[in-house]
Chains A and B, each alone.
Chain A
């Protein structure tokens, strides 16, 4: 947005100077028109300089030199008001202060040109300066408020991270606890129970086995029929060797047996497993 603004200002300046040169009779009409066209194209040429920290001041100096020259040559002091637009086209604070100094020098030049009796121009400049200072003040106020809000939202984000981490843990804790209680009261089918445990405990396999009629429900990778005998006999070592896994958790719950199988590593907080064991 700002880039187009800069182009637009330079275009307006050179177009105005060309129009002034055509409308009024000056001695050096053609050179002034050529100079304005050159001024616009030099901005396009020097545009990459604006991204540099030091070189961009060359562009600004050329701008103010051109305005100063035009004011001096044409005796039209109102053309110097373009320097105010240039001040408003920059973004950083330091640039604005430097351009304000440049602007004041142009203002002094144009006052000198009219012998310090042009009061309309004086008031126009005072008005513009007042609006620039107001803009500054508003900007500073906005920035301080923005920073305050940013700090606040950073703190909220930090708290949110801690809380959501704890929430995740307690959610799992509650789900597992509730599922076990419901299974004991037979409110929940074994298939659903297995599903909940598989989701919350990150197991490779969850098996729940009814000892009386040997019906079982299983979820996961190691759902083989021939491991049921190991479970009924309580032979954990045999089961480990059969499946080639490192961790097997076996829990007797009356008629039911619950088996959790982890291949190489217990991928859940130990506190969650303590609910079951």
Chain B
């Protein structure tokens, strides 16, 4: 089971011993906090039964998650809010545990939800469905100032997490990328992981200073 391995891995690499593990009838949730504060910034990685570590599509978001955990622990912990990493597994709908966890925490306590699906594949576009006007303006400013080559996209297909919750959601989609479903794990590239983690960190720094 991938969640057990991930738990062991996180424990060994970063010394994270207080990882909460909650199971329900259909799904399972793994979460841990970094930093202190009343409000949350949620980093989620929803997993369903199609998950296959040999494919690039599923292994890169995991690398992005590990890299962001590493940066939060080794470089700088967040101040004023806490980061909650939430890795969820559900057989039918991978978003179900995330949504139930959000209602458990309380919507007003969540500053933003960062969905790590489809990150690290290259050609990432920010899905602007779940973001408010002020955040979008700040994103425009960040993109202008830092010369990030990252586009924006509006999803009309209704798959994104922003359609299912009414909180702020920062998520990405790799578009146009016709090979993302077939590429193997060997196409791993550290630069792409660093790039997207850098963007997320700049965003959090600018928006929730």
**Which residues of A are in contact with B by a Cβ distance under 8 Å?**
150, 153-154, 157-158, 160-161, 164-165, 167-168, 202, 246, 264-265, 267, 269
Interface readout for B98-136 with A: 1 if CB under 8 Å, 0 if not?
000000000000000000000000110000100001001
**Set of chain B residues within 8 Å of A168, measured between Cβ atoms:** 175-176
Contact between chains at A160 and B179 (CB < 8 Å)? yes
Please give the distance in Å from B81's CB to the nearest CB on chain A: 25
Q: Does B151 contact A (CB under 8 A)?
A: yes
Q: What are some 8 contacts across the A-B interface (CB < 8 A)?
A: A157-B122, A160-B179, A161-B123, A161-B177, A165-B123, A168-B176, A265-B133, A269-B151
**Set of chain A residues within 8 Å of B151, measured between Cβ atoms:** 165, 269
Contact between chains at A157 and B179 (CB < 8 Å)? yes
Contact between chains at A264 and B123 (CB < 8 Å)? no
Contact between chains at A164 and B133 (CB < 8 Å)? no
Q: Does B145 contact A (CB under 8 A)?
A: no
Please give the distance in Å from B168's CB to the nearest CB on chain A: 13
**Which residues of B are in contact with A by a Cβ distance under 8 Å?**
122-123, 128, 133, 136, 151-154, 175-179, 183, 186-187, 189
Contact between chains at A165 and B176 (CB < 8 Å)? yes
- Residue among B136, B152, B187 making CB contact with A154, cutoff 8 Å: B187
Contact between chains at B179 and A202 (CB < 8 Å)? no
- Residue among B122, B152, B183 making CB contact with A267, cutoff 8 Å: B152
Query: Of residues B153, B154, B178, B183, which shows the largest number of chain A Cβ atoms within 10 Å of its Cβ?
Result: B154
CA–CA, A267 and B187, complex, Å: 31
Which secondary structure characterizes the binding site on chain B?
loop
Contact between chains at B133 and A158 (CB < 8 Å)? no
Which secondary structure characterizes the binding site on chain A?
helix
Asked whether A264 and B133 contact (CB < 8 A) given A157-B122, A164-B123, A165-B176, the answer is yes
CA–CA, A165 and B54, complex, Å: 26
CA–CA, A157 and B178, complex, Å: 10
CA–CA, A116 and B154, complex, Å: 80
Asked whether A158 and B122 contact (CB < 8 A) given A164-B176, A164-B177, the answer is yes
Closest B-chain residue to A202, C-beta based?
Answer: B154
Contact between chains at A150 and B186 (CB < 8 Å)? yes
Please give the distance in Å from B155's CB to the nearest CB on chain A: 10
**Set of chain B residues within 8 Å of A265, measured between Cβ atoms:** 128, 133, 136
**Set of chain B residues within 8 Å of A246, measured between Cβ atoms:** 133
**Set of chain A residues within 8 Å of B179, measured between Cβ atoms:** 157, 160
Contact between chains at B177 and A154 (CB < 8 Å)? no
**Set of chain B residues within 8 Å of A264, measured between Cβ atoms:** 133
Please give the distance in Å from B75's CB to the nearest CB on chain A: 27
**Set of chain A residues within 8 Å of B152, measured between Cβ atoms:** 267
